Structure 1
């Protein structure tokens, strides 16, 4: 499997006007700040949007972004397996913001949902703490919860995937409404 092409933040910024930018984070993360002009198509909806992304790539270059580059790299691989050439933003929106570039927020956004990494840290930490406390107070078998989370975190690091993030992405505040995704795909078709 090939490594996706990576653009640095300065190159991406200078070419932003000619790129179709697809943000594969959850809608909540997207609302917290995204590259100017980016369209939100969460990673788990990439297959659904494949025909529209393919048409967009035939009209010009497509840049796929996420928070750090991991999810966008996965999206680029999925798209490459389906014959769509894309690039990813090195370091994601985190690097973009660290370089001092503007992040846009949808109109009417009152508050941002926590980023997926922060949601995973909170959930993992809560389950580990709960397992330890229940193990001390009730039965040592509850400590298996903590061991399971630890094993999952090691697996996540080794494979650069995250099952907990996949589960959390299905929560209502991390999911696009069908109408939102339809509007995004219509905007993609009209570019």
Structure 2
């Protein structure tokens, strides 16, 4: 079982308080709303510190992002590196919040998915309007459309990855060393 719904995730956390809840969203998204006790380790940091995470983590790990896509990518990478007891919250924070589960709320921030829709939509609209005066501008809209189609087919998003690197999405930052230390603490409790 690699994906679980929000009700099953709540049961898992209640039955096993040592489960490692790892949120792979950006620090800004995490700041906006997160599950109590979750460890924020953005997807790019999971990739950068993969072996340290696999070595340090023990016990069951529940991965969370906004919709489930980034968490699934993290699960695949962790699984390929040898960590097997990892599940993804199907539907991510969207489903967690929709189920009425408790959430720690902070300063409201836009999710990466919403930012991608804003940027892509703005580029397409600007290109469409600009094409009235400069017809080749329509190719910019076509390029963005092709990029969104590719993103859907491959379940990746280059625009989202670029937006994740903006200062807005790194607000507050993530202390990777502290996050990995918390993973190790969770693994030592799970082994006790």
Shorter chain as denominator, the TM-score bin is 0.7 to 0.9
- Correspondences of 1:26-175 after superposition (within 5 Å): 26-58=26-58, 60-85=59-84, 86-105=86-105, 109=106, 111-137=107-133, 139-175=134-170
Gapped runs of 5+ residues in structure 2?
A: 187-192
Q: State the TM-score, normalizing by the size of structure 1.
A: 0.88
Greater shift, 5-14 or 48-57, is seen at 48-57
Following superposition, the deviation at residue 53 of structure 1 comes to 2.6
Following superposition, the deviation at residue 83 of structure 1 comes to 0.5
Residue 21 (structure 2) pairs with residue 13 (structure 1): no
Q: Following the alignment from structure 1 to structure 2, what is the Cα–Cα distance between the partners of residues 40 and 73? A: 16
Gapped runs of 5+ residues in structure 1?
A: none
Q: Following the alignment from structure 2 to structure 1, what is the Cα–Cα distance between the partners of residues 81 and 113? A: 28
Q: What is the aligned residue count?
A: 182
1:92-136 deviation line (CA, Å, top 9, x unaligned): 11111111001113xxx4x22200110000000110011111111
Structure number with greater CO (CA < 8 Å, separation at least 6) is 2
Partner of 2:177: 182
CA-based RMSD: 1.8
1:1-21 deviation line (CA, Å, top 9, x unaligned): xxx711221121122123101
Q: Following the alignment from structure 1 to structure 2, what is the Cα–Cα distance between the partners of residues 71 and 116? A: 11
Q: State the TM-score, normalizing by the size of structure 2.
A: 0.87
What SS does structure 2 have at the residue aligned with 1:87?
strand
